[in-house]
Amino acid sequence: MNASVFFKSAIAVAICLSLPHPAAAQRKDNPTADLLTELIRVDTSNPPGNTGRLAELLATKFRPLGIEVEIIPTPDPGKAHFIARIKGDGTKKPVLLAAHADVVGVEREKWTVDPFAGEVRDGYVYGRGAIDVKGGLAVFAEVVMRLAKNHVPLHRDVILLSEADEEGGLYGTTWLAESHWNVMDCEFALNEGGWIMKDARGGVQYVSISTADKVSIPLIVTAKGTSTHSSMPRPDSAIFTLSKALAKLADYQTPVELIPSTREFFETLAKTSEPPLSTYFQKPDQQQRPQSDSGGGSRNQ
Ligand SMILES: [Zn+2]
């Protein structure tokens, strides 16, 4: 869910919309792409995270279809969760489709397009959040709207949650679950994480499911030492001690440890990927350096 800010500082992100080239003539046939463009144009950089505006935009799409909609403001002004629900016959518990509406900030000088224009180039929509995760939000929203438009009979309610405050804020799904569990109570939820990868021919190469995510551990480090005038620094200065501790943290490398599910994941990738990629996922004693690999890429174990 919460990929690192560093990763998301890439120059531009894009989501493939499966449009043939050139895309311009095809855009009118792709409402999901159009919705994604609209979502990107609402700047929800967090902070401040104006997800309330995006919730209002979604409401204008859902209400005309007769879909039950609720906007839940958070204690942080401007941030709001959006809930849409279509009813099933109640024989099964609901399924929740959840995606966060906020995005991390941008370093505009590193972008080759306006990050909040939702520009379409060669069949791709470019913009902040196109991948993480307004693309996913657009897909989930379109699914729910199509179910409603086509009056698809359902055993379970389908709930769409456009989440207010995922990128480091205080009022994300944890807050929503604690304060409004009734709106999101479900048997299971689908969220970002995992990928559906296409192969070179446009077919499905593999579908992955993420069962866990890296988590951060906030630490408060306190150092104590003798206070002196800066002209007479002492070796037990609290600043020096703190600096040494931070340097140790910076140099720390987490040991690689495979658990059964990650081992199976890499073994499956070794079987399903084309060479040379497939060789990177094999056990070290089975690896042979492929002839075509002259780029010196690192192995992915
Ligand atoms: Zn995300």
Q: What is the pLDDT of residues 118-129, one digit of tens each?
A: 999 988 999 999
Per-residue pLDDT averaged across 293-300, rounded?
Answer: 36
167 is catalytic: no
pLDDT for res 289: 53
> Which tops the pLDDT comparison, 296 or 177?
177
Cα(3) to ligand 1 centroid in Å equals 6
- Averaged over 18-26, what is the pLDDT? 39
Mean pLDDT, the chain, integer:
85
For ligand 1, the distance from its centroid to the CA atom of residue 99, given in whole angstroms, is: 8
pLDDT recorded at residue 9: 29
Kindly give the distance from the C-alpha atom of residue 230 to the centroid of ligand 1, in angstroms, as a whole number.
Answer: 45
Give the tens place of pLDDT for each residue, 217-272. 888 999 999 998 989 889 999 999 999 999 999 999 989 889 998 899 899 889 88
Active site residue 166: yes
Residue range 189-218: average pLDDT? Answer: 83
Please report the pLDDT score of residue 10 as a whole number.
Answer: 28
Query: Looking at the DSSP assignment, which residues form a beta bridge with residue 109?
Result: none
* Active-site residue, from 102, 142, 165, 167: 102
Q: Who surrounds ion ligand 1 at CB < 5 A?
A: 132-133
Residue 154 pLDDT > 80: yes
More confident residue, 254 or 198: 254
pLDDT in tens, 67-110: 999 999 999 999 999 999 999 999 999 999 999 999 999 999 99
Percentage of residues of the chain with pLDDT beyond 90: 62
| Selection from 172-176, 188-192, 232-236, 277-281 with the highest mean pLDDT | 172-176
Ligand 1 geometric centre to CA of 104 (Å): 9
Could you say which of 3.40.630.10, 3.40.50.10860, 3.40.640.10, 1.10.10.10 is the CATH number of the domain covering 7-200? 3.40.630.10
Q: What is the pLDDT of residue 28?
A: 60
pLDDT digits (tens, 9 = 90+) for 175-189: 999 999 999 999 999
142 near 58, Cβ under 8 Å?
no
pLDDT of residue 195: 79
pLDDT at 17: 38
Question: From ligand 1's centre to the CA of 175, what distance in Å?
Answer: 17
| Phi, psi for residue 291 in degrees, rounded to 5 | -60, -40
- Of 212 and 74, more confident: 74
Q: pLDDT at position 111, please? A: 96
Residue 133 CA, ligand 1 centroid: distance in Å: 5
Catalytic residue among 142, 165, 166, 167: 166
pLDDT at 285 over 50: yes
**pLDDT digit string (tens) for 134-150?**
999 999 999 999 999 99
b/e burial code for range 35-58 (CB count within 10 A of at least 16 → b):
bbbbbbebbbbbeebbbbebbebb
Task: Place 286 in a pLDDT band, splitting at 50, 70 and 90.
Answer: low
User: Is residue 216 very low, low, confident or very high in pLDDT (cuts 50, 70, 90)?
Assistant: confident
The pLDDT score that the predictor gives to residue 237 is 93
